[in-house]
């Protein structure tokens, strides 16, 4: 490996986050508007609320990442789990895009030397590397919820986002870890 490990790590984190974003968005595209806002029960979140929460978290965590606490005073976390009149699908997707833009642009601006710096999240000290890992884990958790809920809601019309059951041998995994679909499939 010619690339220093810190540089490699930052590039890989961007790739992994982009994969998570794509996975969530591919799932969300498969649900209708009424399904987008549907929560399975009173204690669960809809896809809309999950997107709203992730977007709010990203906005708070990644703005002024190296210089201010990741929990910004203007964040109202509890409201991220409440639907408001202005929370249309289009508005929530716009917030989602802004959140991802903030996260990815901030990470792209980091340098390997930044990874050992200390940042604070909710008053707790973390190295930049730890803070990034904390957020990637958090986003993966919620993307999994989004995909699971979308798959459930889409029902028989669901188009798999990974290798379909019983078809593992049809897919080639390259040395980069990317899965290559059979010819003729996206």
DSSP states of 5-65 = HHHHHHHHHHHHHHHHHHHHHHHHTTS-HHHHT--SSTTS--HHHHHHHHHHHHHHHHTTT
Q: What CA–CA distance (Å, rounded) separates 118 from 184? A: 48
What's the pLDDT score for residue 173? 66
Q: What CA–CA distance (Å, rounded) separates 136 from 141? A: 9
Residue 31: both structure tokens together: 């649900």
Identify whether 16 is part of a domain. Answer: yes
Identify whether 121 is part of a domain. Answer: yes
Q: How far is CA 21 from CA 4, 72, 88, 98, 100, in A?
A: 26, 23, 20, 12, 8
Of 116-120, 121-125, 162-166, minimum mean pLDDT range: 162-166
Tens of pLDDT, residues 22-75: 999 999 999 999 999 999 999 999 999 999 999 999 999 999 999 999 999 999
Can you tell me whether residue 78 is helix, strand or coil?
helix
Identify whether 186 is part of a domain. Answer: no
Output the domain CATH number for residue 150: 1.20.120.450
Identify whether 43 is part of a domain. Answer: yes
How many structural domains is the chain composed of? 1
């Amino acid at each position: 490996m010619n690339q220093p490990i810190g540089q490699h790590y930052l590039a890989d984190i961007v790739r992994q986050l982009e994969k998570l974003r794509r996975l969530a968005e591919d799932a969300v595209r498969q649900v209708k508007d009424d399904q987008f806002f549907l929560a399975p029960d009173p204690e669960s979140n809809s896809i809309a609320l999950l997107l709203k929460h992730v977007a709010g978290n990203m906005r708070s965590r990644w703005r002024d990442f190296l210089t201010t606490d990741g929990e910004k005073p203007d964040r109202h976390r509890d409201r991220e789990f409440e639907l408001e009149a202005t929370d249309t699908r289009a508005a929530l997707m716009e917030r989602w895009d802004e959140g991802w833009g903030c996260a990815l642009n901030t990470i792209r601006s980091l340098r390997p030397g930044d990874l050992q710096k200390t940042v604070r999240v909710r008053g707790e000290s973390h190295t930049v590397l730890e803070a990034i890992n904390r957020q990637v884990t958090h986003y993966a958790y919620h993307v999994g919820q989004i995909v699971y809920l979308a798959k459930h809601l889409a029902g028989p019309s669901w188009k798999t986002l990974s290798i379909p059951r019983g078809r593992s041998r049809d897919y080639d995994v390259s040395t980069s870890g990317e899965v290559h679909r059979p010819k003729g499939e996206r």
